[in-house]
Structure 1
Amino acid sequence: MSIETVVPTKVRYINAEWKDRDETPRIGSKESRRENTAYQNVNIYDARPRIIDDEIGLEKTGFTLSENVTSCPDFRNEEAIRKVYLPEMLALIRKLTGASAAYHYGFLVRTEKPIDFNDGYARFVHCDYNIERIQSMSHDVLRQNEVEPQNNEMYAWYNTWQPFDNPAVNNPLAFIDATTLPREDVIDYYYTGRNRDSLVAAPVYNPDHRWCYFPEMTTDEVVVLKQMDQRPNTVMYCPHTSFDNSSAIENTPPRRSIETRILAVFQ
């Protein structure tokens, strides 16, 4: 077995008290995040050796690493992203999952200079969606693409995450290995950023969660994360967050990344 390296750090989890309360927390600002989450000490393991050992995969751990030498000329140009990068990601999802079709649900560029809280690096452990909404969200996306949903279809949602300009050394993305995530650890919360009130999900802290990341991801590498999946006997969620990387060398260039959200259709 390959040797793993580890980064000790702390990440914000949603407060465990919410697991037993009748109300549902709402998070969409620095203030509400501070009120409803708390730091927990964790170890984050280098997942690259586990690729060599064939222990990583969307239906094993809920995440995987792939190559994408992008042809997108400028990640600050929305037209270039839509015309060049999004088709690359749709093709990647179809290739990795065997989906019969894939549709994008938008993208987000994150840099060291966010416009507001919601554009900054994600600073607490979360899932982007909630399995209770998968049918309605999937049908909405299909109809936006002038496609009528079919009764024999099943849906899964994925995120892709890729650095640009520089390798991702500072504030990299970390994810919980799905084999260590009991379903009962995941609770509901409402995301209220950007004037929304969307039902999503997040796990409460469990010391058995195994945290992973891919150190120094290059601009030719992309992480794919499972966000929600209604198919039986599959990984449902892959909670994730950015973290302060204590192993980063001082004055390393800032992280800049693009993430996409994609619906995959299976028949």
Structure 2
Amino acid sequence: MTMPLSTLGPAVRATLNYSVDNGIPPDYYFYEPDPGIQLNPPGTDAREVAIHDGWPQVEKFSLDREGFELHDFIGRFDQFDDEASVHAQFYPQVIDHVQRHTGAKRVVVFDHTIRKRLPADLKVQTEVQRPAVLLVHSDYTVASGPQRVRDILGREAEPLLMGRVAFYNVWKPLYQRVEELPLAMCDATTHDPADLLRMDLKYRERTGEIYVMRHAPQHRWVYFPKMEAHHALLLKTYDSSTDGRCRFMGHSAFEDPTTPPGAPRRESIEVRTMAFF
């Protein structure tokens, strides 16, 4: 059941980058492709939408219904520029957070990304630091979710895949309030499975896939303006369960028209986890 609009806070109108459904999977190259390759880029269908303030109903959102929740993050950590400390000290805090709010028996962290306002030029990006993603997407597909479990856990994977597995991103500010480029979530009760379009991620050594989304007028978008460093969003990006709960949830950073001039640049981290039940 979709949450009534009247229970949400005021909306801003902003542009989100959907993808055109032309029958061909969109693609994105992580290297310079050969000049003769015909590209089919995602995010070319820019739409102005209403994005509603979710704070008035923050305690009502559900990972298994809308696909996202926001909670206080109990752990304390401020060494995000130290990769070894992130792995040794912050990852265990993330595992505890995911288990506490999902009831998972086991949680595995498999990577993280620090998001900042960076140029789109791949030459100035790193494996860990990347720009905010201004594209409506969900991180995994029905095929790439299980494959990621196999890639990470090897021989452990097949027995685990016989049970339920779900992927959750933990998204939080690094040190200070987020005042620009906030994250918007598409209420999973308002999109149709056919709105999810497979996108090919082209690496030199392999091809991965995620979902991007085509536009539909019934999509409802929610964000939490001015998130503080002690807040953390949980985003569901894959669920193997087919019992009617949310399996995928579209999301995107966006340019908030209410951001004050001179606002601090957004710095956030998203940690990707797989949870077993």
TM-score using structure 2 length: 0.85
Change (3 A) 1:113 1:36: closer
Please state whether the residue corresponding to 1:252 is helix, strand or coil: coil
Q: Within the alignment, does 1:192 sit opposite 2:190 as a pair?
A: no
Q: Which range is displaced more, 66-75 or 250-259? A: 66-75
175, 191, 202: which one aligns with 2:185: 175
Q: Are the equivalent residues in 2 in contact too, given 1:37–1:124 (CA < 8 A)?
A: no
Residues 136-166 of structure 1: CA deviation (Å, up to 9, x unaligned)? 32233223xx746426422111111000122
Q: Are the equivalent residues in 1 in contact too, given 2:8–2:54 (CA < 8 A)?
A: no
Return the alpha-carbon distance in structure 2 between the equivalents of residues 72 and 28 of structure 1. Answer: 34
Please state whether the residue corresponding to 2:194 is helix, strand or coil: helix
Return the alpha-carbon distance in structure 1 between the equivalents of residues 83 and 103 of structure 2. Answer: 28
Quote the residue 1:121 is aligned against.
Answer: 132
Quote the residue 2:261 is aligned against.
Answer: 250
Letter in 2 for 1:237: F
> Mapping of 1:1-267 within 5 angstroms?
2=7, 4-17=9-22, 21=23, 23-28=24-29, 37-52=44-59, 54=60, 56-113=61-118, 115-116=124-125, 119-143=130-154, 147=156, 149-150=158-159, 152-192=162-202, 197-233=207-243, 234-266=245-277
Change (3 A) 1:255 1:188: same
Return the alpha-carbon distance in structure 2 between the equivalents of residues 263 and 194 of structure 1. Answer: 26
Structure 2 gaps, min length 5: 1-5, 33-38
Q: Which range is displaced more, 146-155 or 37-46? A: 146-155
Change (3 A) 1:245 1:28: farther
Return the alpha-carbon distance in structure 1 between the equivalents of residues 108 and 198 of structure 2. Answer: 25
Return the alpha-carbon distance in structure 2 between the equivalents of residues 8 and 36 of structure 1. Answer: 18
User: Once the 2 structures are TM-superposed, how far is the Cα of residue 124 of structure 1 from its aligned partner?
Assistant: 0.8
Return the alpha-carbon distance in structure 1 between the equivalents of residues 157 and 41 of structure 2. Answer: 42
Structure 1 gaps, min length 5: none
Quote the residue 2:35 is aligned against.
Answer: none
Q: Are the equivalent residues in 1 in contact too, given 2:43–2:136 (CA < 8 A)?
A: no
Letter in 1 for 2:219: H
User: Once the 2 structures are TM-superposed, how far is the Cα of residue 134 of structure 1 from its aligned partner?
Assistant: 2.4
Q: Which range is displaced more, 197-206 or 217-226? A: 197-206
User: Once the 2 structures are TM-superposed, how far is the Cα of residue 51 of structure 1 from its aligned partner?
Assistant: 2.1
Change (3 A) 1:9 1:39: same
User: Once the 2 structures are TM-superposed, how far is the Cα of residue 58 of structure 1 from its aligned partner?
Assistant: 0.2
Change (3 A) 1:148 1:9: closer
TM-score using structure 1 length: 0.88
Return the alpha-carbon distance in structure 1 between the equivalents of residues 220 and 168 of structure 2. Answer: 20
Alignment length (residue pairs)? 258
Change (3 A) 1:3 1:235: closer
Return the alpha-carbon distance in structure 1 between the equivalents of residues 205 and 260 of structure 2. Answer: 38
User: Once the 2 structures are TM-superposed, how far is the Cα of residue 26 of structure 1 from its aligned partner?
Assistant: 0.6
User: Once the 2 structures are TM-superposed, how far is the Cα of residue 121 of structure 1 from its aligned partner?
Assistant: 0.9
Return the alpha-carbon distance in structure 1 between the equivalents of residues 203 and 262 of structure 2. Answer: 31
Letter in 2 for 1:128: D
Please state whether the residue corresponding to 1:140 is helix, strand or coil: helix
Q: Which range is displaced more, 104-113 or 251-260? A: 104-113
Higher helix share: 1
Q: Are the equivalent residues in 2 in contact too, given 1:71–1:84 (CA < 8 A)?
A: no
